[in-house]
Chains A and B, each alone.
Chain A
Amino acid sequence: MLDYPSMLPAIVFVPFAAAMLALLIGRYTGRHTGLLMVLAALTCFGMSTTLFLNTHQAGQAPALFTTTWFSVGTFQIDLRLLGDAFGLFFAMLVSGIGTLVGIYSLSYIPTDLPNSRLGRYYAALITFMGAMLGVALADNLMLLYVFWEITTIASFMLIGFWYDEASAKRGANMAMQVTVTGGLGLLAGVVLIGVAAGTFTLSELQQQTGAWSRLLASPLANIALILVFLGAFTKSAQAPFHFWLPNAMVAPTPVSTYLHAATMVKAGIFLVGRMLPIFGGTALWSPVLITVGLITFVLGAYQAMRETDLKAILARTTLSMLGMIMLVYGLNASEQDALQILSHATYKGALFLVAGIVEHATHTRDIRELGGLRRKMPITFIICAAAALSMAGVPPFFGFLAKEALYHELLHSEVLHAAGVGQWLVVAGSVLANAFMFAVSFKILLGVFCGPETEKGHHAHEAGPGLWIPPAVLALAATGLGVIGVTSVTEHLVQAISSDPHSHVHISMNPVHWSIGPVVLTFITIALGVGFYMRRTAVEAAQARLDVLPSAPRVWERMMEHIAGFATFYAGRWQNGSLHWYIAATMAFFIGVSAYALVHGGLSLANATVDLTELPWYAIALGVLTIGAMTAVVRANTRMGGAIALGATGFLVSLMFVVYRSPDILLTQILIETVSTIFILLILFFMPSFQPEQMSITRKMINLGISAGVGIIVFLMVLLSMSDGIRATRTLKEDYLSRALDGAGGANAVNVIIVDFRAIDTTGEICVLVIVGLAVFALLRSRRKLA
């Protein structure tokens, strides 16, 4: 049995191991790979719950796992995972809904797809789950960022699941572009925080210690906060970055449920929740979050009213709710964040899954083509009713409690009291948005399941238990958590899992405990909502008239087109395919930089000693031969002749290493010469014919100038290495030599440097090498296939 701290890395890395396994066995197991997902998710859920119960009941400090991740000199980044209540709540949410989505996927994903594709689908889904668990538990900002970006990549692959369709490609690209832009902002913000505070450890900053005061005192703090906000707003689809989310609905429904309703879009909110103890008191915090949150809250609900596609409606309401939670954080009401997140996840998860069932049964998601399904699909109808009523905020469902808590906060928040008339703007906006939400809930419920039966519904039938059990669990939670709200169980629960478990959150389903303000607002909301629903055609017509702004996705795409256009122009100018130009430019740059260093770099050739006593006659002979071979390269009339002469030069140079007893470089030089010769032989055939006589005189002069320049610079550099100042710099060499055997168990210092002392550098280089190989493979092979 694992001890508690070791469970943390297990929770994060079990999914990654499972994803790797899914990739390997996917082609054989096909659709059954989903069982692996269910298993991994259940394991993580079990461990998260165990950890949470243990910490909560025993009242202990949260479990902490920490180990060195990177250490270079004095700089160190820890792999640090912390199991605090809010993080574990998020982990339970991610793994719990992951389990349900895994079960649902087993029946939902079409089985006529190739096995390997199903394997990849589950691998991406499980990877996503692991990355989300990493975001939830990471206690180091760098670690959090890495997991954050993995969710983006997994999301890209999952949105693009139907990659044969243009809309899927468009949606996946747009989601990727927007969230990566924000992700880069987050990275910059994290780096700034690290620079200003001197630590990347989240809990240390949250405890408001010395590092925290250093951070807030720094002028970088506000910039860092804005950059972190950029990351959170793009991920959680806040206005004006909201548009990627509706376009991401081209993903299969389980993906939409999991990523784009229940978990991934909450990552931005989660991040803001993590930042609240750090930045909550700063001047920017409340104004930015309240403005952005309120706009998204109202805009999402307003636009949801207009949509006719079931998933698009749900996507817009998700936007709205994400905005609402941002607003809650803007009010510093972090004690109710878990309540809002959980309430949204339960009903929205259920509704998305119901939308998938309806589409499965009727082959349409258009609400205008649907109706009267309650007789044919009674179970789905009951599930949908519970979820939709929770969304509408009707007692005794869980959504009602969340809405009451919001209204209570709006009326009593100290942040808003200070805002004066602004408070009533926020209250009015929230009531309006919730009224739209109310109307939308009934539009979905009544539009799909009541009224006359439509043509598409004739052949509809109830879904199998594999499809309805997952949403039923969520709908049950949305009902159950509401009904037991008459006692104080729900209240205690959502307070214990919130990011601020010490502040009291007051919610109750028992009318005796209701206070007058929120109840009045609820009545106004319901009255307005009923009005909107009754007059929905009039509302939609009014919305169509108001529709004057350019659509956000179009604006974004035009921006992307401009960026791509600039890139094409730039590449066309500098990367024109002429090898001559590449080499000339590279060498000219080399000459310029080196000459600058020689003149202004404080280097001196004054005391360079040239000692000719170490020069035996055979070295002179080798030098003469090398010059002869070099002349042959320049004088060659054919490329083949030039290549052979070049090879000869290389081998002669390597003989020079024999003279000066440098076996390592000798071996490398000989092998590289051999491989280069083979390489030249292979590509010579495709080169255009070599016509030196056609070269213009200016071009010849430029070539001569660059060649002479490189020759002189290299000569000077070699000379420089003999001067006093450089020769004295021996400590590095001796340091490496002395440490090679003891520290790394190798006597060959060159190799020890490559694979041990500077292994992280080498890692970068081998990555480049692999990418080059794969690029050559992909480019040449695809070109041959096209031909």
Chain B
Amino acid sequence: MTVSSPILRTVARFALPLSLVVSAIIFMQGHNLPGGGFIAGVLGAAGAAIYLLAFGVERAARIQWWKFAVVGLCISLLTGTVQALLGYGFMNHTIWHIGSYHLPTATFFDLGVYLIVLGTLMTIFVELGMEDR
């Protein structure tokens, strides 16, 4: 369904890129400050959904959102599996030290969560939006 309001369209035009940037920031800071893959995914989906409401479902439907979810699941499971193959046990995360930077392997798991939340929510939104057409 399309809510054809010029105000919404104008808002949506800015809301989408903004929400994507903010969701990336929230995702990255998630390990130390409020945030994380789940919330960032919901935020990204919210931005995209407002865009969907303003400009109609067709543009959003061009993207196969379910693939995001499946790829995300693969990333998450692979993170756990790689740890298992390295001998730490399935889903037992470690921290990579790259110079002075600490990268917990849990970040990859969280990236999977992000993609799953974004992909699943958008799949549902797009499919529901396609229903009345």
Contacts and interface: CB of A to CB of B under 8 A. Distances in A.
A675 B90 contact: no
B93 to A, nearest CB: 5
B123 A777 contact: yes
A763 interface: yes
Nearest to B30: A751
Interface residues of A, number: 51
A663 B33 CA distance: 9
A184 B129 CA distance: 41
A735 to B, nearest CB: 18
B31 A766 contact: no
Contacts of B93: 744, 755-756, 759
A12 to B, nearest CB: 11
Contact of B125 (A678, A759, A781): A678
Contacts of B132: 685-686
Given A746-B31, A754-B36, A755-B36, A682 B129 contact: yes
A746 B84 contact: no
A71 interface: yes
B33 A766 contact: no
B91 interface: yes
Interface string A306-340: 00000000000000000000000000000000000
B124 interface: yes
B116 A769 contact: yes
Interface in A661-701: 663-664, 666-668, 671-672, 674-675, 678-679, 681-683, 685-686
Interface of B: 1, 3, 26, 30-39, 42-43, 45-46, 49-50, 53, 65-66, 69-70, 72-73, 76-77, 80, 84-93, 95, 102, 104, 106, 109-110, 112-113, 116-117, 119-121, 123-125, 127-132
Contacts of A672: 42
B107 to A, nearest CB: 8
Contact of A751 (B49, B110, B119): B110
Please classify the interface of chain B as helix (H, G, I), strand (E, B), loop, or mixed, using the class held by over half of its residues.
helix
Contact of B35 (A71, A682, A751): A751
Interface stretch (A62-70, A191-199, A409-417, A594-602): A62-70
Contacts, number: 170
A756 B36 CA distance: 12
Given A678-B50, A745-B104, A751 B43 contact: no
A769 B41 CA distance: 13
Contact of A746 (B38, B87, B106, B120): B106
Chain A CB count within 10 A is highest, among B30, B87, B91, for: B91
A745 B31 contact: yes
B5 to A, nearest CB: 13
Given A666-B34, A744-B95, A772-B120, 18 more contacts: A68-B84, A68-B90, A69-B89, A674-B46, A675-B121, A681-B53, A682-B1, A744-B93, A746-B31, A748-B36, A754-B36, A756-B93, A763-B76, A766-B73, A769-B116, A773-B65, A774-B123, A784-B131
5 tightest A-B CB contacts, nearest first: A773-B120, A746-B31, A68-B89, A751-B36, A759-B91
A771 to B, nearest CB: 9
